[in-house]
A and B are shown apart, each in its own frame.
Chain A
Amino acid sequence: EPEVTQTPSHQVTQMGQEVILRCVPISNHLYFYWYRQILGQKVEFLVSFYNNEISEKSEIFDDQFSVERPDGSNFTLKIRSTKLEDSAMYFCASRGQGAMGEKLFFGSGTQLSVL
């Protein structure tokens, strides 16, 4: 089965530093998402991306966050100045263009630790 690939699997950074989390969605998919999961808490939606622009974002996705699809394969999440509370598992997901309830494929996540 095709996979969503995320790198790195773990990222440790100092507070205030910029981080870029990378994702390679499934090749023929058109919708891309970032979610995060703080330890012990629920999976939270951050942003969705379609047709080279943000289609939806949550309150969490403030000015410190940005997403980019720099080429035909990568989808990145940048956090400009990390805060302690940004520590979480960040999941990338993608899906094809289909009917309601189209399957969402998740990557294995990047565990971000902000010190």
Chain B
Amino acid sequence: TQLLEQSPQFLSIQEGENLTVYCNSSSVFSSLQWYRQEPGEGPVLLVTVVTGGEVKKLKRLTFQFGDARKDSSLHITAAQPGDTGLYLCAGAGQAGTALIFGKGTTLSVSS
């Protein structure tokens, strides 16, 4: 069974701080996706990484896929209250197979 472990589970920071959340597994994934979920809503895709070592940037968010395609990180620069939410990573074992989700990191950014 493929498992994705996310850390930290909870993160509470002040506006303007930087943070990194991690997504780790002992399994190799063909692709890995990061989602953000608001209360009462479904997850919304932020980014997909496919190639080992790949780095993608989305404004203040930087996503990295590990060289071995077993782990990923999300770095947020100068966090803002609007970044508050649940961040989920999800991996696909093979192309077209269902996504397996981590438990998520709940981020709270206060002003």
- Residues on A close to B: CB < 8 A? 4, 31, 33, 35, 41-45, 48, 55-56, 58, 91, 93, 99-101, 103-109
Q: Check A100 against B31 for contact (C-beta < 8 Å).
A: yes
CB of B98 within 8 A of CB of A106, answer no
Chain A residue with the shortest CB-CB distance to B104: A42
Q: How far is the CA of A58 from the CA of B33 in the complex (A)?
A: 20
Interface string of B13-46 (1 = CB under 8 A from A): 0000000000000000011010000001111110
Which chain A residue shows the least CB distance to B97?
A: A56
User: Cβ of A43 and Cβ of B88 under 8 Å apart?
Assistant: yes
Chain A residues with Cβ below 8 Å from B40 are 108-109
**CB-CB nearest 8 A-B residue pairs:** A106-B42, A101-B48, A43-B101, A101-B31, A42-B103, A100-B95, A45-B98, A91-B42
